Structure 1
Amino acid sequence: MDIDGDGEARKVQVRFVTKLQQSYKVQQASISIPANLTRFDLSILVNNLLLTANEDWTREPFDFLIDGELVRLSLEEFLLAKGISAEKVLEIEYIKAVAPRKQEEPSLHDDWVSALDGSSDGYILTGCYDGFGRIWKAGGICTHVLDGHSAPVTSVCNLMPKADSIADQVVATGSKDRTLRLWKFDEEDPIDQPKKITSVKILRGHTSAVQSISGKLSGDMVCSGSWDCTINLWNTSANDNDDSVSVKKRKKGGQDEESLSEGEALTTLVGHTQCVSSVVWAQHETIYSGSWDHSIRRWDVETGKDSFNMSCGKAINCLSIGGESSALIAAGGSDPVLRVWDPRKPGTLSPIFQFSSHNSWISSCKWHDKSWYHLVSASFDGKVMLWDLRTAWPLAVIDTHGDKVLCADWWKGDSVISGGADSKLCISSGVPVL
C-alpha cells in the first residue's frame, strides 16, 4: 500500500519479533496498525499483546528496530525517511528500552570526584580532589581510603590481580603531585568504618601533573599520560628489582612509616605537544592516547612509535576503545560533540558517528564492554547520556548531578556510575543493555 494517502486511513501490516526470552514473545502473526504510531505507542501495543497472553505480565518500556536501526520517528516518517516500502509486511524487532530503572543514593565525597573505575563488580574505585582514593561498596559504603597523594587524584584504574583471591586487589592512582601510586587491599576487610591504607609502590618520573592512567590487561604494567606531554610505561610489581628501590617514607609522630618501593618508568613515549589527557591500554602491545594537541595516536609498545596519528580539530579530553571487534575509537573534548571513528576504514579520517545532544565540553566517554552499540558520555553541562550507534538521539539523559560531570563508567554491566564537581558519586542502576 502507499502511505502517502489520507492520514486517517493509512495502515501498515507489521509483524513483531524479538530475541528476548520466551516470556517476552508475542504471536508472530501480522497485524494492521496505524502508520502514525510512535515508538511509545508501539511499546504500549506490544505490552497489551503480552498482557493478553499473560494476565500477570508487568508492563515495561521497549525500543524498536527496523532493518537494524532504532525507530525515533513515527512509523510513517521512518519509512519515508529510509525509503522502505509499506506494501509488504514490515518486520519490527523489539528490545528492552535502555534507560536506568533506579537511582541509588549518591556517595558523598569531600571535594570534586575527578575519576572512577567500575571494572570490578565488587566495588567502585574513585579519585577525589581532596587527594584521596576511595573504595566503595554498593549502598554508599566506603570501605577503604587510599592515603598518600599530596595533590588531587586525577585518574584511577583497577589492575587485574595475579591471583583470583579477593585479598589481592591491586589498584593504581595518578595525581597532580606528578606521581602514580599502587595500592593493595582485601575486598573482604571489615566495613564498620573505612580502613585507611598506604600505597605499596610510588612511581616517579613525570615532570608535571599526571592526567590519565590505564592498566595493561594482564595487570603487570600501567601507562600514564601527563601535562608534560609524555606517556610513561611502568612495571606494577611491588617487588621488582629492576626498576624499584626501597625507600623510607617521612617520619610521622617521630616514627618511620613502613617502607615502600619506588619505581622508575620503563619506557617513555614522546610525540604529543600538549597535555596527554587520556590513555587506553587497549591490547597487549597497543596503547591509544588523546591530547590537547588535537591528536589521537595509537602506539606500538614494543617499538615505542605511533603507528596511527589522527588530527581531530579539537582538544581531546577523553578516549575509549570498544564497539565492533573492540576497534572503534570514541572521543570527546572541547566541544559538545561525541565522535566515533573506525580506524580500519582506509582513506578517511572522518567520524563514522557524531552525537550532538550535550551543550558543553565532554569530559568522559566509555564503551560498554559487552555491547557493540552502547556507550556513555559525561559533560560539563551536568548530564550523563546513554548512546546506541543505531540512532542519533540519546537513549537516556541522566540528570542527577548539580554541577559539571567529570567522569563516568559502566558498573556490573547494568549500572552507570558518574562523579562530578558536586562531590557526588552517583549510581544509575537497572540499565538493560544485554
Structure 2
Amino acid sequence: MADAMDVDSAGPRIQVNLTSRDAALAVPHQALRVSTSFRRIDLSTLVNHLLESPKPIPFDFLIDGQYLRTSIDEYLTAAGLSSEKPLDIEYVRSQLPPTYVGSFEQDDWISSVHSSSSPGAATILTGSFNGTAQITSLSGQVLAKTLPFHTQSVKAVTWVDSPSLASSDAASFLTAGMDRTINLWSYQHSDEPSSSTVPLSATTAYISHKSTINSLSYSPSTSQFLSASSDNTIALWSTDSSLLPTVSVPQPTSFSRKRRRTTQKLPNIEKKGPLAVLTPHTAPVSQITHAADPTAAYSVSWDKSIITHDLVTAQVVDTRVTQHPLLSVTLLPSLNLIAAGSAARHITLHDPRASSNNVQTAVLRGHTNSVVSFARSPESEYIFASGAHDGCVRIWDVRGVSSTTEDGAGDADKSSGSLFAIKRESGTGKVFSIDWSRDVGLVSVGEDKKIQVNRGELMADVTVLDQTAR
C-alpha cells in the first residue's frame, strides 16, 4: 500500500479503489488510503472533491454488491475481511425515495395504469373493474371516460399514441379485459380548461381470445401490439385495421348478457382478428412485453415458464422453466436482463439470451404477497419498481445484488433487498398495477380505488415522509 495516497491519517486506514459505471462521474484511477471509520457521507465528500463538483452530488457506495450502511470498519468486521487487503468500492448517485404527492379516488377497483410522457400534456390512463377506462390529469380532474363497450372488468390498458401539445392529432389507447375483447379508443387532448368529462367511443374491437385478457404490449416502431390471455394464448395484432381480417363478435357469457341489458345501446364498430396466435404456454399467460428488438417478445405464465418469441416467424426462441408460477415481467434492456415476479412473493432476474447457461441470475426478496407489476425508472437503467398484492411498491437497484448465496443454489443464485418500500396512503388494499414516467412520477393503483402518485428526483431536495421507508 506504499503507492496509495493518504486521504485521512487519523486512526486505522485501508486502501480503497473507487469506480463508477457512469463515465461522466468517473474519477482518475488511483489507490487511496482512507480511515476505516469512513461512512457513506465521508466517501461522498471524497468523491465530490475528486470530481471537483461545483454542486455536491449525493452518492451511495456498493461493496461486493451490498450498499454500505455502516462504517467501513463495521463492514469489514461483519464480512470477516482484513483491512490489510485493498477494498473495491463502486459509487452511484443516491436514489432518493419517491415521496407521496397525492391520490385520486375512482368508483371501483383500479386494475391497470399507463402514464403519458408528453411534457405539458402528461395524463394518467387507468382501467377499472367497472368495465371502463378513464384519463386523469395530474390535478386529479377526470378529462375523459370510455363508454361501457366492455361488458366486464378492464384488466389492461396502454397508450398507443400519447397526448401531445405539439400535435393536433388525436391520441389513442387500447383496453382489454375479462370480456375477451380489446378495444381501440381515440382521445383529443385540449389544453383549454373544461369542467366536464369527455365520453369516449371505441373505434375498433379486436377479437380472438376465449378467456380473460391479462396484458397488452404495444410497439411504436412496428404499430403492432400483443395480448396475453388466460386461455393460454398470445395474439399478435396491428393498429392498421386494413392488415387484419374481419371477424364476428364472440358469443356473450351469461354475465355479459346480464350486464349488457343494464347498459345503453352502443353503436356497432369494426371487429378485427389477429395477425397470428401463439400457443407455447400450457397455463394462463400472465404478462407479455416486447423485447428491445420489437420483432421479439417475452411472456410469463402460470406454467412457471419464461418464453422468448420470434414475432416474425411466430416461433419459440427460448424457454426457461422456474420453480413458481409467474405473474409479471419487465425488460432491463441495457443490462440484458428481465425481471419476473412470482406468486411465491419474490422477483427473479434472468438473462434471456439463448447463450446464457443460468436459469436465473439473482433473487430479490422483500414482498410478502404475489408480485404482479413492474415499472422501470426513467432516470436509471439499473433501477426499477415492483408492485404486489401486499399493498406495497418496492424500488430495486440491480447493482445492489449481494453475492450471498441462498438455499444452496450456487453462485448464480444471488439475493438482494429493496432500496425503498412505499405503502398505500389509504393504508389498505392490494396494488394491481404501477407505472413510472419522468413527467408524472411513480404511479400505483389498486384495491383501494385510488391512483397514488409518488415523486422523487435523483438530486432533488425532498423531505422524506414517514410513509416511505428506506
Q: TM-score range by the shorter chain?
A: 0.7 to 0.9
Q: What is the Cα deviation at residue 30 of structure 1?
A: 6.3
How far, CA to CA, are the matches of 2:171 and 2:440 in structure 1?
22
TM-score by length of 1: 0.82
Change (3 A) 1:103 1:219: farther
Question: What's the counterpart of residue 170 of structure 1?
Answer: 172
- The answer as to 2:192 corresponding to 1:192 is no
- The answer as to 2:434 corresponding to 1:405 is no
Q: Secondary structure at the match of 1:410?
A: strand
Q: Secondary structure at the match of 1:64?
A: strand
Q: What is the Cα deviation at residue 273 of structure 1?
A: 1.4
How far, CA to CA, are the matches of 1:214 and 1:208 in structure 2?
18
How far, CA to CA, are the matches of 2:163 and 2:138 in structure 1?
25
Check whether the contact 1:319–1:366 (CA below 8 A) recurs between aligned residues: no
Task: Give the partner amino acid of 1:63.
Answer: D
Check whether the contact 1:20–1:95 (CA below 8 A) recurs between aligned residues: no
Change (3 A) 1:311 1:234: same
Taking the TM superposition and a 5 Å limit, the aligned residue runs for 1:105-116 are 105-116=102-113
Question: What's the counterpart of residue 418 of structure 1?
Answer: 444
How far, CA to CA, are the matches of 1:270 and 1:242 in structure 2?
19
Question: What's the counterpart of residue 300 of structure 1?
Answer: 310
Question: What's the counterpart of residue 127 of structure 2?
Answer: 127
Task: Give the partner amino acid of 2:449.
Answer: S
Check whether the contact 2:244–2:273 (CA below 8 A) recurs between aligned residues: no
Q: What is the Cα deviation at residue 413 of structure 1?
A: 6.8
Deviations 1:152-195 (A, max 9, x none): 11111111479972532111111111100111111226442321
Deviations 1:389-415 (A, max 9, x none): 111231111113521111112112782
Taking the TM superposition and a 5 Å limit, the aligned residue runs for 1:327-346 are 327-344=336-353, 346=355
Deviations 1:194-237 (A, max 9, x none): 21111111111211111111112326221111111111112213
Q: Secondary structure at the match of 2:381?
A: coil
Taking the TM superposition and a 5 Å limit, the aligned residue runs for 1:61-72 are 62-65=59-62, 70-72=67-69
How far, CA to CA, are the matches of 1:347 and 1:396 in structure 2?
30
Question: What's the counterpart of residue 334 of structure 2?
Answer: 324
- The answer as to 2:94 corresponding to 1:97 is yes
Q: What is the Cα deviation at residue 358 of structure 1?
A: 1.3
Question: What's the counterpart of residue 145 of structure 2?
Answer: 145
Question: What's the counterpart of residue 375 of structure 2?
Answer: 366
Check whether the contact 2:117–2:440 (CA below 8 A) recurs between aligned residues: no
Question: What's the counterpart of residue 411 of structure 2?
Answer: none
Change (3 A) 1:101 1:314: closer
Change (3 A) 1:189 1:85: same
Match of 1:290 among 271, 276, 300: 300
**Unaligned stretches of 5+ residues in structure 2:** 2-9, 250-256, 401-415, 461-470
Q: Secondary structure at the match of 1:324?
A: helix
Change (3 A) 1:381 1:131: same
TM-score by length of 2: 0.76
Question: What's the counterpart of residue 324 of structure 2?
Answer: 314
Match of 1:226 among 226, 229, 234: 229
Identity %: 29
Question: What's the counterpart of residue 5 of structure 1?
Answer: none
Task: Give the partner amino acid of 2:137.
Answer: K
Match of 1:348 among 333, 337, 357: 357
How far, CA to CA, are the matches of 1:381 and 1:162 in structure 2?
33
Q: What is the Cα deviation at residue 119 of structure 1?
A: 5.2
Task: Give the partner amino acid of 1:179.
Answer: T
Q: Secondary structure at the match of 2:237?
A: strand
Task: Give the partner amino acid of 2:153.
Answer: P
How far, CA to CA, are the matches of 2:459 and 2:283 in structure 1?
36
Q: What is the Cα deviation at residue 96 of structure 1?
A: 3.5
How far, CA to CA, are the matches of 1:319 and 1:128 in structure 2?
21
Check whether the contact 2:378–2:438 (CA below 8 A) recurs between aligned residues: no
Q: Secondary structure at the match of 2:102?
A: coil
Check whether the contact 1:105–1:426 (CA below 8 A) recurs between aligned residues: yes
Q: What is the Cα deviation at residue 38 of structure 1?
A: 4.1
Check whether the contact 1:337–1:362 (CA below 8 A) recurs between aligned residues: yes
Q: What is the Cα deviation at residue 29 of structure 1?
A: 11
Change (3 A) 1:21 1:296: closer
Q: Secondary structure at the match of 1:167?
A: coil
Check whether the contact 1:364–1:406 (CA below 8 A) recurs between aligned residues: yes
Change (3 A) 1:84 1:144: farther
How far, CA to CA, are the matches of 1:104 and 1:30 in structure 2?
42
Q: Secondary structure at the match of 1:200?
A: strand
Change (3 A) 1:243 1:430: same
Change (3 A) 1:300 1:21: closer
Task: Give the partner amino acid of 1:152.
Answer: S
Task: Give the partner amino acid of 2:198.
Answer: K
How far, CA to CA, are the matches of 1:234 and 1:217 in structure 2?
13
Check whether the contact 1:219–1:236 (CA below 8 A) recurs between aligned residues: no
How far, CA to CA, are the matches of 1:300 and 1:151 in structure 2?
32
How far, CA to CA, are the matches of 1:150 and 1:374 in structure 2?
38
Q: CA RMSD in A?
A: 4.0
How far, CA to CA, are the matches of 2:19 and 2:323 in structure 1?
43
How far, CA to CA, are the matches of 2:31 and 2:323 in structure 1?
51
Match of 2:271 among 252, 262, 266: 262
Deviates more, 1:309-318 or 1:71-80: 71-80
Change (3 A) 1:260 1:352: same
